[in-house]
């Protein structure tokens, strides 16, 4: 059974769920409670702000796209043995890309052995814009369910467990998702550049083919005209003397032009192939 708002308020007035002085009535909802963000006990941009010692000085906590942070609650917990909590992200922040990376259950008895225990929630920004969270903002919901025959398990404080986990990490800014995003952008940029380069190469090749075609057609027409003049019976003497020479010159020029064109085009394809292979090897080197 999930507790409704009136039942939650009765429990809170009886000193259960949250410790006195850390909760407020306006956060009680229809069947849940809206948890507020504290300005200490957080990890933002790889920097640790110790509970009750280091306060975040900026007016808002900025979580950039692809970044991860640890937030804590103003509410201090003292969960009774017959209740368990279930955490969730409020719609206003979930719709902006903020996602919780944590276990959603709050066990019965949580906070009973530690007078200043609170919830520490790891969040990630999967959106496209920076999400700003001000201390005091209610960005999480917790609903409470009845539990039967629970047991008590003594655990160290959650913050100490978090710090032990952070101590074993080389970096605490959790930029992996950002790096993945940047790598995806690099790949997209490389693909666009490659397509643009291929299009430019095709255009240049087309221009070369057109020019060569015009040149070859011109030589062919000129050769045909010379051949026609040589076939005329009453052709002038200079045509008979120099016509065959001109025809042979045109033949050799056309043969040389065809050979030159084949060599140049082949060389261009070889260079383009080498360039493409080099570009394909470069991302592999980056990834290793």
Residue-level pLDDT at 163: 81
- Ordered DSSP codes for 114-164: -TT-EEEEEEEE-SSS-EEE-TT-EEEEEEEEE-SS--------HHHHHHH
Residue, of 198 and 100, whose pLDDT is higher: 100
Rounded CA gap, 37 and 98, in Å? 14
| CB contact at 8 A, 66 and 128 | no
- Counted residue by residue, the chain has a size of 288
C-beta of residue 121 within 8 angstroms of C-beta of residue 106 = no
33-36 and 61-63 strand pairing: unpaired
113 or 37, which is more confident: 37
Q: What is the pLDDT of residue 189?
A: 60
Residue 230 has pLDDT above 80, yes or no: no
Residue pair 133/83 in contact (Cβ under 8 Å)? The answer is no
Higher pLDDT, 252 or 143: 143
Number of neighbours of residue 119 by Cβ within 10 angstroms: 23
**Cα separation of 218 and 133, whole Å?**
74
Mean pLDDT computed over 242-267: 65
pLDDT recorded at residue 142:
97
Confidence at residue 193, expressed as pLDDT on a 0 to 100 scale: 65
pLDDT at 151 over 90: no
For residue 134, count CB atoms less than 10 angstroms from its CB and return exposed for 0-12, middle for 13-18, buried for 19 or more: middle
Residue 201 CB neighbours (<10 A): 15
Q: Determine what percent of the chain is predicted with pLDDT higher than 90.
A: 41
pLDDT of residue 20: 94
Report phi then psi at 7, rounded to 5. Answer: -65, -40
Whole-prediction pTM value?
0.61
Query: 76-121, pLDDT tens digit by residue?
Result: 999 999 999 999 999 999 999 999 987 789 999 999 988 889 999 9
Q: Confidence class of residue 130 from pLDDT cuts 50, 70 and 90? A: very high
The span from the CA of 43 to the CA of 165, in Å, is 13
Per the rule left: phi > 0, alpha: psi between -120 and 50, beta: everything else, 75 is beta
Q: What is each CA distance from 101 to 18, 106, 120, 146, in whole angstroms?
A: 23, 14, 11, 25
Q: Tell me the two tokens of residue 70.
A: 């640890």
Query: Taking 80 as the threshold, does the pLDDT of residue 143 lie above it?
Result: yes
Instruction: Give the tokens for residue 156.
Output: 């160290």
Q: Which is higher by pLDDT, 156 or 93?
A: 93
Q: Which residue has the tokens 């259960």?
A: 16
The closest of 140, 141, 126, 136 to 174, measured between CA atoms, is 126
pLDDT at 164: 81
Of the two residues 164 and 184, the one the predictor is more confident about is 164
Q: Mean pLDDT across the stretch 149-164?
A: 82
254-277 average pLDDT score = 67
C-alpha dihedral over 221, 226, 228, 234, to 10 degrees? 160
Instruction: In whole angstroms, give the CA distance from residue 252 to residue 142.
Output: 89
- CA distance linking residue 159 with residue 274, whole number of Å: 55
């Amino acid at each position: 059974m999930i507790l409704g708002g009136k039942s939650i308020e009765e429990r809170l007035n009886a000193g259960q769920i949250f410790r006195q002085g850390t909760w407020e009535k306006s956060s009680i909802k229809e069947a849940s409670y809206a948890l507020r963000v504290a300005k200490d006990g957080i990890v933002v941009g790889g920097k640790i702000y110790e509970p009750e010692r280091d306060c975040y000085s900026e007016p808002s906590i900025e979580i950039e796209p692809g970044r991860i942070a640890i937030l804590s609650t103003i509410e201090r917990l003292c969960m009774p043995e017959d209740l368990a909590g279930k955490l969730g992200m409020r719609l206003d922040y979930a719709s902006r890309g903020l996602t919780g990376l944590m276990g959603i259950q709050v066990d019965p008895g949580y906070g009973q052995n530690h007078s200043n225990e609170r919830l520490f929630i790891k969040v990630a920004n999967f959106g496209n814009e920076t999400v700003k969270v001000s201390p005091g903002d209610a960005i999480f919901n917790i609903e409470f369910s009845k539990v039967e025959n629970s047991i008590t398990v003594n655990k160290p404080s959650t913050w100490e467990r978090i710090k032990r986990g952070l101590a074993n990490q080389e970096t605490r800014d959790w930029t992996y998702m950002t790096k993945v995003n940047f790598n995806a952008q690099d790949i997209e940029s490389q693909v666009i550049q490659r397509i643009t380069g291929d299009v430019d190469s095709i255009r240049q090749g087309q221009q070369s083919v057109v020019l060569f075609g015009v040149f070859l057609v011109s030589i062919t027409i000129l050769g045909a005209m010379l051949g026609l003049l040589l076939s005329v019976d009453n052709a002038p003497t200079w045509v008979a003397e120099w016509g065959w020479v001109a025809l042979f010159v045109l033949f050799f020029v056309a043969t040389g032009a065809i050979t030159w064109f084949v060599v140049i085009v082949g060389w261009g394809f070889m260079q383009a192939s080498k360039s493409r292979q080099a570009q394909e090897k470069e991302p592999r080197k980056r990834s290793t």
